[in-house]
Amino acid sequence: MNRVLRIFLPAILLVCLSRPGESAQSYPAPPPPQNRGPFGRHPISSDDDQQAGSPKPSSAALERERYLELRKETTELARLASELQAAVAQSSEHTLSLELARKADKVEKLSKRIRDRIKRGD
């Protein structure tokens, strides 16, 4: 390694110092980032939708749709929770059925989905 440095380092320095005008050459500035993915498309949005001329729904319409979806899911959660409560009331204190565990899992999954949707804002 030292032998390579001793041979090539002076040659590199000689080349750099012999062309002072070219070493200060300015290169063109890179183009500004366009938030494009690796294949020239935006990673989140679809260029095909924009090219097809499909109108984008307004933000108020999207908010209304999200609200109605959230309301539907919370109604479903309330229904599942009341079914679970009724099933627990019907069972004895010494035996709990497998159906109770399934209903509890459904309630848990739906509540997590609702919570995540509220946190993300969609």
The confidence score (pLDDT) of residue 109 equals 93
> Quick one: tokens of 99?
């159906």
| Residue 122 neighbours by CB distance under 10 Å | 12
Read off the amino acid at residue 14: L
In contact, 74 and 111? CB cutoff 8 Å: no
The confidence score (pLDDT) of residue 57 equals 74
Q: How much is the average pLDDT of 66-86?
A: 91
Which of 113, 65, 26 lies closest to 56, judged by CA? 65
* 19-64 confidence digits (pLDDT tens): 555 545 566 777 666 666 666 665 555 555 455 555 677 888 888 8
Residues whose CB is less than 8 angstroms from the CB of residue 111 and which lie 6 or more positions away in sequence, other chains included? 77
